[in-house]
Amino acid sequence: MTALSPVTKAARQAQIADILTRTRVRSQEELAELLARRGVKVAQATLSRDLEDLGAVRVRGAGGALVYALPGDPGGPGSPPGGVTGPSAGGLQDAWPSSGADDSTSGALPRMAAELLVSAEASANLVVLRTPAGGAQLLASAIDHAVWGSILGTVAGDDTVLVITRDPAGGEQVAHALLRLAERRVERT
Residue 186 pLDDT exceeds 80:
no
9-69: CATH topology is Arc Repressor Mutant, subunit A (1.10.10)
Determine the straight-line distance between the first and last CA of the chain, rounded to whole angstroms: 43
Predicted model pTM:
0.50
Residues spanned by CATH 1.10.10.10 within the chain?
9-69
Average pLDDT of the chain, as a whole number: 78
How do residues 28-81 score in pLDDT, each as one tens digit? 999 999 999 999 999 999 999 999 888 888 887 767 788 888 876 554 444 443
- Residue range 167-184, pLDDT digits in tens: 999 999 999 999 998 887
CATH code, residues 92-188: 3.30.1360.40
Taking 3-state DSSP, the helix, strand and coil percentages for the chain, each rounded to the nearest 5, stand at 40, 15, 45
Predicted local confidence at residue 185, as pLDDT? 55
What span, in angstroms and rounded, lies between the C-alpha atoms of 92 and 173? 8
Strand order, beta sheet including 151-156 = 119-123, 126-130, 160-165, 151-156
pLDDT value at residue 45: 94
DSSP, collapsed to helix, strand or coil, labels residue 160 as strand
